Amino acid sequence: MLNFKDRLNPFHFFRDLKRKDHGLVFGARDILKYIGPGLLVTVGFTDPGNWAANIATGSGYGYTLLWIVTLSTIMLVILQHNVAHLGIATGYCLAEAATVYSNKKIARIMLSFATMASVATSLAEILGGAIALQMLFGITIRVGAILVTAFVLIMLFTNSYRKIEKWIIGFVSIIGLSFFYELFLVDVDWAAAGISLVSPSIPKGSMLLLMSVLGAVVMPHNLFLHSEIIQSRQWNLEDETIIKKQLKFEFADTLFSMIIGWAINSAIIILAAATFFKNSIKVDELQQAKSLLEPLLGSNAAVVFAVALLFSGVASSITSAMAGGSIVSGMFMEPYNIKDNHTRTGVLISLLGALIIIFFIGDPFMGLILSQVFLSIQLPFTVAIQVYLTSSKKVMGKYANSRFLVVLLSTIAAVVVFLNLKLLFDILFK
């Protein structure tokens, strides 16, 4: 049986990859074949909502709050690895496991609530893509939202898991390269940035933005999504050797993907700090950031920013819709399958529900905020049911969480819940 501390120990992990175990060779080629599920999750916390929070943070406080990206990513690695562990050990995604191992009526209510959270997530993602189209081509937000939704539906209804993964890898690469390109155009104080990445500091008046960055990283739909897409790597649940191999490779995929997400989020804050904060310019919306980049860095940087935002909106819309499909199909104890009516219903509810709401939103930036408010309300329920299921020996058997892991996950859950509810309170009663 795999010990949690061993699974999170990188020295043990890479040591084990080098040796043969029952005829299985844990090599670099195997790891590369396994990369994919984690990158779909990475898109969820490099979405337009994160962009808005990161740009506001960097422009308002410089490099000072970079440490919260590091802390939140560590928390995310633990939570995402744990929910993927559920998928590997049981063969169920989070929605299926909730339906099978809890009261059916309660599970149906909670999963219906989670489906609504998927709609709220898609709302932010589609809005981000629409804002990017407006930046690039002057298209109205509503027309842009229709175009983004149509493209995402085509992607989902015509591609398999593995094809979707390849598209997402391409999208994430473009997003990352775009920001790294823009970093070369600015004068970054790398020493100050490096210290801030690992040195906690909370400037006066920064708590709301700090909580926004942390709260936006751990998202309900990603927890459902990761436990579902990990099934695409399930070869033989009855073979313990294969399960152990999957657990190791899943951790490599999760760690690698979350580090990419950490780098992208950090790059956005660093870019905002080196351009806007340095010039005493406070940014509080995405369109403003693009228009302000042009005189500071030139037209190429502004266009690259808008293109990266477009790919971020499209890619994250795909993953939020997949999460919606997984949740609805899980209500009927079925795996995600785009050819199945329950999965299609979940996908359509997520995307079309968000699109309809967008037509009634007058302020796109406020729409992003309201979507995050709803996610803050739903998140505690998702984290709680995850910890309950992965800690149950009835569900996980010998792969159930250890006492140490239960305490660790409960602590993370408590922190995330507190900060999200505090954020919600501040937004509603400021």
Q: What is the pLDDT of residue 419?
A: 73
User: Which is more confidently placed, 393 or 9?
Assistant: 393
Per-residue pLDDT of 153-168, as tens digits, reads 998 988 765 676 677 7
Kindly report the backbone phi and psi dihedral angles of residue 214, in degrees, each rounded to the nearest multiple of 5, phi listed first: -65, -45
Residue 390 scores a pLDDT above 90: yes
277 within 8 A of 189, measured Cβ to Cβ: no
Please check the confidence at residue 185 and state whether its pLDDT lies above 70.
yes
Of the listed ranges 20-24, 78-82, 251-255, the least confidently predicted one is 20-24
Percent of the chain residues topping a pLDDT of 90? 23
The model's pLDDT over 108-148, given as tens digits with 9 standing for 90+, comes to 888 998 999 899 889 988 998 999 899 889 999 999 999 99
What's the CA gap between 82 and 76, in Å, rounded? Answer: 10
Label residue 292 by pLDDT band (50, 70, 90). Answer: low
Residue 190 CA neighbour count, 13 Å, CB half: 4
CB 172 within 8 A of CB 260: yes
Q: Provide the mean pLDDT of the chain.
A: 80
- Residue 23 makes CB contacts below 8 A (sequence gap 6+) with none
**Taking the domains of the chain in order of start, what are their residue ranges?**
27-429
pTM: 0.79
CATH number belonging to domain 27-429: 1.20.1740.10
CA geometry: angle at 212 spanning 405 and 387, to 5°? 20
Model pLDDT, residue 426: 66
> Does residue 293 surpass a pLDDT of 50?
yes
Q: Sign of dihedral through CA atoms 220, 126, 261, 420? A: negative
Convert the pLDDT of each residue in 93-114 to its tens digit: 899 999 999 888 888 888 998 9
pLDDT, residue 427, reads 62
Q: Which one, of 363, 401, 347, 40, lies nearest residue 219 by Cα?
A: 40
Please state whether beta strands 24-25 and 20-21 pair in parallel, antiparallel, or not at all (unpaired): antiparallel
Whether the predicted pLDDT of 26 surpasses 50: no
State the Cα–Cα distance between residues 31 and 396, nearest whole angstrom.
Answer: 25
What is the C-alpha radius of gyration for the chain, rounded to an integer number of angstroms?
Answer: 21
The CA–CA distances, whole Å, from 395 to 53, 206, 385, 392, 410 equal 37, 41, 12, 5, 18
Segment 13-37 shows an average pLDDT of 49
